[in-house]
Structure 1
Amino acid sequence: MFAPSPLLTVTIEKAPSGSTELHVHPGGQGFWIGRMASILGMDVHLCGPFGGESGGILVDLIGREGITVHPVSSASDNGSYVHDRRGGEREVVVEVEPPTLTRHETDDLFSASLGAGMSADVAIIGGPHCDDAVPTELYTRLCADLSALKIPVVADLSGPTLTAALEGGVSLLKVSHEDLIEDGRAASEDLDDLIAAMHSLHKEGAGSVVISRAADPAIALHDGGVWEVEAPPVQSVDHRGAGDSMTAGLAVGYADGLPFEQALRLGAAAGAVNVTRRGLATGQRHSIEKMTENVQVRRLEKDHT
């Protein structure tokens, strides 16, 4: 699990008794994907930079989640945030952006990630918390080298890092429709526009593509076929983390050698269970596996090619 921006998160919650609760957890896209992958039974090895007081706390907290950490020493503290949810919505109290890694720290992160990847069934590539956390060319080199070593690469990216990863090549790309539109890769949220974007992403270097569409069914491109993936309409407590959970489910399916349709079901089920809970990329394995029975995967009949 390539995690360039591990975060220390503090969330203030209202307890059932009316008192105040303080929750301290690891965060960042790489960790959230890794945690759900671990919940689903994957032996997760997370590679990321850690430094200062927040970095030391993070290494310990991530290890408690059953994830093996390959820490790269950083001279600066990790990014962090404090959110207040006592009013029902997240209110940002303070956010500390992660530092830009130095050249030596970047080299160490690349080496640690490549080394862990060579021993893995699948390499998962997460995005940075901010654009300047790591050089975008790191994504090109890492994806290209892992692909050359025949290691499947599953990526959940957007913006410049997405473009860079495609240059190196990825086995499976998961991206949200909002990010595609914001990046100018899709003209609109219209289904035909999103399908056209999937074909373009495939031509640029993605073997298969999955686009999450918030509450609407996800769509996927695989072996020239277009698929629609619909999870049951469960009540949402917090939608944040659903996309990362989906990516984790897809990666676990890929590592386990599941047929593509089953991997889609597992990814959609992980995302659906996540939104029923507070806490990003959380859930119980049994619930997720049962939820897969309620996910519908359909081949779109219309010829969009």
Structure 2
Amino acid sequence: MIYTVTLNPSIDYVIKVDKLTTGNINRVNEEHVYPGGKGINVTRILKSLDNDNIALGFVSGFTGDYIINSLQELNLKSDFIKVKEGFTRINVKVKSEEETEINGQGPKISEEELNQFYKVIDKLVDGDILILSGSIPSCLDERLYESIMKKVEDRDIKVIVDATKNLLLNVLKYKPFLIKPNNHELAEMFNVELNSTEDVVFYARKLKEMGAQNVLISMGKDGALLVTENDEIFASSVAKGEVVNSVGAGDSMVAGFIAGYLKSNSYEEALRLGAASGGATAFSSDLATREFIDKLVDEIKIEKIK
């Protein structure tokens, strides 16, 4: 089974206004509500690509009920821990001349509730896949991903981590199956400027030397680059289209990569489906549909650099 972890999910309230003016009443022209959070995005795309999975994490209050009910309506499985204090956050995304985001805080998670979550993790078995996505709520220890990976290190579980800077660097000692920083996050990790594909390859290999088995770097309009456990290097092109919404594109790439790998056992084909999934979401107002992903797959060209 595949499990996704979203420690601080959200309701994403996406609105469009002609011109956002602070200090005044602004009239909304268009509005959408989605269950949000990086792991939940991965869950949705995995299911679209015919990969059954279970969403894990924490929810609370009436907004938490919305998350659970929304996933049920999409025929998605979840096993969230219900938190007593606070409520699942609402993130407001305002699209106008510029894009403005106001992100909520999320609930307060107690030690008892965290231990309930660990009991769920303890049920994972050999052959399972665990995807850790996004930030860790401020109420929890920032080394939580490390604690999770330590708990499963004696089992044959493929762990994928999509997180930033120290959250990612600190788990490398547990040899995650895949990590997926973008090129900006890669530069930030090593405090460098990346001016060429060679630079990206060099620092992606550094992450591999530090423990990651496979390193996938998303690079926006420049495609994606993969350094595999066998030290093969693949680069993907990007599909043609107009970027409508970048939110969830990286999560879609992770989901597409895992779905492609499970289907083909080929890193090249995994990268192709990952790039198509990320592009399809970037060209959509919500996460990509299966039909759109399938349409873009043939546009993606994979080049083996080494």
TM-score interval (norm. to shorter): 0.7 to 0.9
1:289 pairs, out of 285, 288, 294, with 294
- Give the secondary structure class of the aligned counterpart of 1:215: helix
Moved more, 259-268 or 292-301: 292-301
> Partner residue of 2:22?
none
Gaps of 5+ in 2: 19-26
Q: Kindly indicate whether the alpha-carbon contact (under 8 Å) linking 1:7 and 1:26 is maintained by their aligned counterparts in 2.
A: yes
- Does structure 2 conserve the Cα–Cα contact (< 8 Å) formed by 1:122 and 1:255? no
Secondary structure at the residue paired with 1:268? helix
What is the rounded CA distance, in whole Å, between the counterparts of 1:185 and 1:120 in structure 2? 36
The corresponding residue for 1:67 is: 76
2:35 counterpart residue number = 26
Counterpart residue type for residue 155 of structure 2? L
Matched, 1:106 2:114: yes
Change (3 A) 1:255 1:135: farther
In structure 1, C-alpha distance between the alignment counterparts of 2:121 and 2:8, rounded to whole Å: 13
Q: Is the contact made by 1:98 and 1:133 (CA closer than 8 Å) also made in structure 2? A: no
Q: Distance in 1 between matches of 2:7 and 2:44?
A: 15
* Compared CA separation, residues 194 and 19, structure 1 to 2 (3 A): closer
Change in 2 beyond 3 A, CA 1:143/1:8: same
- Deviating more after overlay: 221-230 vs 98-107: 98-107
**What pairs up with 1:1-305 in 2 under 5 angstroms?**
1-13=4-16, 20-75=29-84, 76-85=86-95, 87=96, 89-92=98-101, 94-115=102-123, 117-118=124-125, 121-128=128-135, 132-184=138-190, 186-222=192-228, 223-279=230-286, 282-300=287-305
Structure 1: how far apart are the matches of 2:82 and 2:105?
17
Q: Distance in 2 between matches of 1:118 and 1:28?
A: 25
1:253 maps to a residue whose letter is: G
**Cα deviation, residue 21, structure 1:** 3.7
- How many equivalent pairs are there? 293
Instruction: Give the alignment's TM-score, normalised by structure 2.
Output: 0.87
- TM-score, normalization by structure 1: 0.87
Amino acid in the other structure paired with 1:270: S
Q: Which amino acid aligns with 2:7?
A: P
Unaligned runs of 5+ in 1: none
Listed one character per residue, the Cα deviations across residues 16-72 of structure 1 (whole Å, up to 9, x for unaligned) are: xx9744322211111111111111111120001011221122111122222211010
Check the 8 A contact 2:7/2:137 in 1, yes or no: no
